[in-house]
Amino acid sequence: MARRVNNVVVVLVTCANEEQGASIARSLVGERLAACVNLVGSIRSIYRWRDKLEDDRETLLLVKTRTQLLARMERRVRELHTYEVPEVVALPLSGGSRPYLDWLLESTAARPRSKVRKP
């Protein structure tokens, strides 16, 4: 299981609202950049932005993906996100259910190319 755990990360991404979060989640899963994205609705974020204290409602995405896809996933989040600096924070796993990790790795594997037969 150590090999599987080392190949998987959970990534935190905050979004302005659930609609934006769902759109990003659909893209990441649809493009096989994530196996699953959970939307945790209405969190409260207090942070400093441009030397001003902010207090906003956001939606948190919990993105499960392969470690090797992290850079591509981050680029895609930046393309889709409305924030100037979107949160993309990857957390390594220390354990997990082997069947779940197998499914996660399978769900983010590149699709085999179909053989096109020439006439």
Q: What is the pLDDT of residues 60-108, one digit of tens each?
A: 999 999 999 999 999 999 999 999 999 999 999 989 999 999 999 999 9
> How many domains does one find in the chain?
1
Q: What is the pLDDT of residues 11-51, one digit of tens each?
A: 999 999 999 999 999 999 999 999 999 999 899 999 999 99
- What CATH number is given to the structural domain containing 37? 3.30.70.120
CA angle 73, 41, 99 (to 5 degrees): 55
Range of the domain at 102: 2-107
63 within some domain: yes
User: Which residues does residue 58 pair with via DSSP β-bridges, in sequence order?
Assistant: 43
Q: What is the C-alpha separation between 27 and 14, in angstroms, rounded?
A: 15
Q: Is the dihedral of CA 42, 70, 74, 35 positive or negative?
A: negative
C-alpha pair distances (Å), 84 with each of 16, 33, 62, 81: 12, 21, 20, 8
Q: What is the C-alpha separation between 82 and 23, in angstroms, rounded?
A: 12
119 within some domain: no
Query: Quick check: pTM over 0.75?
Result: yes
